[in-house]
Structure 1
Amino acid sequence: MDKGMYAEAIEYELLTQAIYRDILAREGVSTANVQHNVSIVGRSGVEHQVDVYWEFKQAGITHRVLIECKNYASNLTLEKARNFFAVVHDIGNCIGIMVTKTGYQSGAATFCKHYGLALKLLRKPTEEDWEGRIKEIHINMIPRVPVSSETHPIICNLYLRPDSEEQDVRLKNANRQNPELVRANPSMRFLGKDGLPITEELRWWIPRQLNVLEREDGGPYKQLVKLTDHYISENLGNGIELIQVIGVVIDYYVETLPSHQVVIDATETVSAILKDFVSGEWEHVRAT
């Protein structure tokens, strides 16, 4: 075997290892250590090389699995099946799985079925594999967004709750001097009780609060968003202090943008499938 073929064979074995590691994790078998290229001495005293191997205990019983990987471009022969069965039989008390890319000759399949060797296909999906399955998803996207322009700006007014009569007096005085105090600016972020930011900047936060999908194009629309434990920091004359925000009222317009189509092609995202040779059922999909 030349270096290129050897490298491809090792890569195929590592892919098999990764696939079964994913399957066992999905099934909750966290104690299984899926190993690659393991040497195991059989009952005869002969040492055998196993491409992929794992074992785990369940209900006091040890389960051992041996996998033979054949990165072949042609169907696996009866001779290869017999050779692997000899390894499984010599090691004993284990389950044998053969994995290949193309398929199995009829004699090999009959032999493995009789002796309980599982036959799997691990390869990139073909057109035949996609029959009866969703191959492409076409999504027509019609974006409906809040307008933010000079003629139709998004306006967000704050409803503030002072924590004392003293703060209420200072807040009213500050608001008389600066009416913009109760109007949010795009770079503002709401704070928590500790004075640390708990939201992103309002330029990004506000659009997420608006029910634009329920609105027709145009406006103006008004939406109330109630808040709890949200604060802003302002200097009301005695230095920077926190003021609670109990809600915001947002005035906005809505616009529908030109539609566009997104095509999700599963053939471009699936790098490999694990398929049972006998039943033809997919057992695992590996994404790129």
Structure 2
Amino acid sequence: MFKESIEYELLTQSIYQEILARESADTVDVKHNVSLAGRSGVEHQIDVFWEFRQAGVKHRVLIECKNYGTSLTLEKARNFFAVLHDIGNCQGIMVTKTGYQSGVVDFCRFYGIELKLLRAPVDSDWVGRIKTVKINVTPRVPVSTIEHPITCALFLQPTSDAQDARLRAAVHRDPNLTRASSSTKFLGKDGEPKTEEMAFWLPRQLNVLQYEDGGPYEKNVELNDHYLSVDIGSGHELVKVIGVKIGFWVETLESQEIVINAVETVNAILKDYQTGDIEYAHRKQI
């Protein structure tokens, strides 16, 4: 039970961290298991806590998590109110997974304590909401086969007359210097990799939806500050690449159906107990 309670508190921390990251321009650190001293001098253990400053004013939020299988009693709400009153200048939120007994809602509404449900979704939560999305996809892709490989011609620009002479002689000896292989990577001026290997980089440069099936097609791509490290006669040196010409074929693959089932991906929801509004859906980590 203790382990499950800690996991419930950590889930609450994680959800509010994600909500604040989405809604706040500033980074807010949501903390778990914090000890705060009240005005009485008594230390209080707070399950989840965060604070921030806005317009020069400090705002603090305290969350009490109750991973109970039964509805939360008025006694628990009163105890939490006492903690909030002792600490002062703070907003309180109670989070449980089942519900709240009679009197809790009125008591907490009067004292400004928010009541939330954090639990696994049930069928009633999906009323009026989309549970399943089906998407039919017909992929059109650049072909990469032995018969129709993707090719890449390199446009090289020497940075000096001496390099131009070495490059011309090297290309005369080996014309493949002006063609990229599947493992080629472009480098930056510092000699560090600037792109992934051509096998992955080249297809990303192609928007094949505008082409009919077949080919061959060609596309020129201008480059800026891209280099190759090649040996053109005096050891490896950086040679500037100002562009590439990609040769390719296009093929439309068989249609596929993708089914997204929200019931299988959402493992917890945060719901306002009084309004019934679902405020956040927590998705499983895959």
TM-score by length of 1: 0.81
After TM superposition, the structure 1 stretch with the greater mean CA deviation from structure 2, 206-215 or 155-164, is: 155-164
| 1:274 corresponds to 2:277 | no
Aligned sequence identity (%): 59
Cα distance, 1:14 vs. partner?
A: 3.5
Cα distance, 1:121 vs. partner?
A: 0.9
Unaligned runs of 5+ in 1: none
| 1:228 corresponds to 2:224 | yes
Pair 1:102–1:244, CA change in 2 (3 A): same
Q: Which residue of 1 is the match for residue 248 of structure 2?
A: 252
Unaligned runs of 5+ in 2: none
Contact 1:38–1:52 (Cα < 8 Å) also in 2: no
Q: Which residue of 2 is the match for residue 174 of structure 1?
A: 170
Select the residue among 26, 33, 36 that pairs with 1:36.
Answer: 33
Cα distance, 1:50 vs. partner?
A: 4.5
Q: Which residue of 2 is the match for residue 209 of structure 1?
A: 205
Q: Which residue of 2 is the match for residue 150 of structure 1?
A: 146
TM-superposition CA deviations, 1:151-171 (whole Å, max 9, x none) = 222222222223344443443
Matching residue's letter, 1:267: V
d(CA) in 2 for partners of 1:149 and 1:32? 51
d(CA) in 2 for partners of 1:232 and 1:92? 64
Contact 2:139–2:254 (Cα < 8 Å) also in 1: yes
Cα distance, 1:219 vs. partner?
A: 0.5
| 1:191 corresponds to 2:187 | yes
User: What does 1:34-73 align with in structure 2 at a 5 Å threshold?
Assistant: 34-36=31-33, 38=35, 40=37, 43=40, 50-55=46-51, 58-59=54-55, 61-73=57-69
| 1:15 corresponds to 2:11 | yes
Secondary structure of 2:217's counterpart equals strand
Return the index of the structure with the highest Cα Rg: 1
Q: Which residue of 1 is the match for residue 238 of structure 2?
A: 242
Pair 1:97–1:199, CA change in 2 (3 A): closer
Pair 1:40–1:208, CA change in 2 (3 A): same
Secondary structure of 1:230's counterpart equals strand
Pair 1:280–1:181, CA change in 2 (3 A): same
Cα distance, 1:28 vs. partner?
A: 5.2
d(CA) in 2 for partners of 1:195 and 1:60? 48
d(CA) in 1 for partners of 2:71 and 2:174? 82
Contact 1:81–1:108 (Cα < 8 Å) also in 2: yes
Secondary structure of 1:168's counterpart equals helix
Pair 1:98–1:187, CA change in 2 (3 A): closer
Cα distance, 1:37 vs. partner?
A: 6.1
TM-score by length of 2: 0.81
d(CA) in 2 for partners of 1:60 and 1:164? 59
TM-superposition CA deviations, 1:121-167 (whole Å, max 9, x none) = 11112222223333333232322222222322222222222334444
d(CA) in 1 for partners of 2:43 and 2:146? 79
| 1:78 corresponds to 2:79 | no
Contact 1:14–1:36 (Cα < 8 Å) also in 2: no
d(CA) in 2 for partners of 1:93 and 1:233? 63
Secondary structure of 1:221's counterpart equals strand
After TM superposition, the structure 1 stretch with the greater mean CA deviation from structure 2, 214-223 or 49-58, is: 49-58
d(CA) in 1 for partners of 2:14 and 2:64? 14
d(CA) in 1 for partners of 2:201 and 2:29? 45
After TM superposition, the structure 1 stretch with the greater mean CA deviation from structure 2, 120-129 or 238-247, is: 238-247
Paired residues, number: 283
Select the residue among 100, 105, 112 that pairs with 1:109.
Answer: 105
Contact 2:32–2:46 (Cα < 8 Å) also in 1: no
Cα distance, 1:253 vs. partner?
A: 0.8
| 1:125 corresponds to 2:121 | yes
Cα distance, 1:83 vs. partner?
A: 4.2
Matching residue's letter, 2:73: T
Please give the root-mean-square deviation of Cα atoms over the aligned residues, in Å.
3.1
Contact 2:9–2:32 (Cα < 8 Å) also in 1: no
After TM superposition, the structure 1 stretch with the greater mean CA deviation from structure 2, 49-58 or 230-239, is: 49-58
